[in-house]
Amino acid sequence: MRIQQEQIDALNRQQDSFHRQQLDGLRTLYEEKRMAQTIQKLADFQVALPSWALGAGGTRFGRFSYGGEPGNLEQKIEDIGLIHQLTRTAGAVSLHIPWDIPEDVAAIRQLADELGISFDAMNSNTFQDQAGAGESYRNGSLSSVHRAAREQAIAHNIEVIRIGEQLGSKSLTVWLADGASFPGQYNFQTVLQHTEDSLKHIYSELPDDWKLLIEYKPYEPHFYSTVIQDWGTSFALANACGEKAFTLVDLGHHLPNTNIEQIVATLMKKGKLGGFHFNDSKYGDDDLTVGAIKPYNLFLIFNELVYGMENNPQNPDLAWMIDASHNIKDPLEDLIQSLEAILIAYAQALLVDRNALFTAQQESDVVRCQEILQHAYRTDVRPLLREARLRAGGAFDPLETYRSLEVRKQLVKERGSSTRATGL
Residues that bind Mn ion (CB under 5 A): 250, 277, 285, 323
Among the listed residues 215, 261, 304, 397, the single contact to ligand PSV using CB under 6 A: 215
**Rounded CA Rg of the chain:** 22
- Chain-centroid distance, C-alpha 210: 18
Q: How far is the CB of 186 from ligand PSV (least distance, A)?
A: 20
Residue 76 touches ligand PSV, criterion: CB under 6 A: no
- Residue 100 CB, nearest distance to ligand PSV (Å)? 12
123 touches ligand PSV by CB under 6 A: yes
Min dist CB 285 to ligand PSV, Å, is 5
Q: What's the DSSP call for residue 219?
A: S
> Which residue, 272 or 386, has its beta carbon nearer to Mn ion?
272
Q: Does 323 bind ligand PSV (CB under 6 A)?
A: yes
Coil, helix or strand at residue 119: strand
CB atoms within 10 A of CB 326: 18
Among the listed residues 79, 100, 285, 387, the single contact to ligand PSV using CB under 6 A: 285
In whole angstroms, the minimum distance from the beta carbon of 204 to Mn ion comes to 25
* 22, containing H or E segment: helix 16-27
Q: Could you tell me the CA-to-CA distances from 91 to 82, 100, 349, 391 in Å, in that order?
A: 10, 18, 22, 16
Q: How far is the CB of 274 from Mn ion (least distance, A)?
A: 13
For ligand PSV, the closer of residues 178 and 387 by Cβ is 178
Q: Does 231 help bind ligand PSV (rule: CB under 6 A)? A: no
Q: If DSSP codes are grouped into helix, strand and coil, which group holds residue 247?
A: strand
What whole-number distance in Å separates Cα of residue 132 and Cα of residue 270? 42
123 binds, among Mn ion, ligand PSV, none (CB under 5 to 8 A by kind): ligand PSV
340 contact choice in Mn ion, ligand PSV, none (CB below 5 to 8 Å, kind-dependent): none
List, in sequence order, the alpha helices (H) in 270-353: 295-311, 331-350
Nearer to Mn ion, 100 or 323 (CB): 323
Q: Give the contacts of 306 (CB within 8 A, at least 6 positions apart).
A: 346, 349, 350, 352
Which lies closer to ligand PSV via its Cβ, residue 29 or residue 255? 255
As a residue count, the chain comes to 424
CB count in 10 Å sphere of residue 66: 23
Give the residue among 273, 310, 322 at the shortest CA–CA distance from 91. 322
Nearer to ligand PSV, 35 or 172 (CB): 172
Question: Does residue 261 interact with ligand PSV by CB under 6 A?
Answer: no
Binding mask 136-155 for ligand PSV (x = CB under 6 A): --------------------
Asked if 151 contacts 114 with a C-beta cutoff of 8 angstroms, the reply is: no
Number of residues that bind ligand PSV (CB under 6 A): 9
Nearer to ligand PSV by Cβ, of 201 and 217: the residue is 217
Nearer to ligand PSV by Cβ, of 175 and 246: the residue is: 175
CB of 48 to ligand PSV, least distance (A): 12
Q: How far is the CB of 317 from ligand PSV (least distance, A)?
A: 19
Local structure of residue 308 (DSSP, 8 states)? H
Closest CB to ligand PSV: residue number: 175
CB 284 within 8 A of CB 278: no
Nearer to ligand PSV, 123 or 348 (CB): 123
Cβ neighbour number for residue 243 with a 10 Å cutoff: 11
Our CB check for Mn ion shows the closer of 339 and 351 to be 339
Q: Is 280 in the site for ligand PSV (CB under 6 A)?
A: no
Task: Give CA–CA dist 25/8, Å, rounded.
Answer: 25
The CA-to-CA distance between both ends of the chain, in Å, stands at 25
Whether the Cβ atoms of residue 125 and residue 181 lie closer than 8 Å to each other: no
Q: Is 277 in the site for ligand PSV (CB under 6 A)?
A: yes
- How far apart are CB 210 and Mn ion at their closest, in Å? 19
**C-alpha count within 13 angstroms, C-beta hemisphere, residue 75:** 19
Residues that bind ligand PSV (CB under 6 A): 123, 175, 215, 217, 250, 277, 285, 323, 424
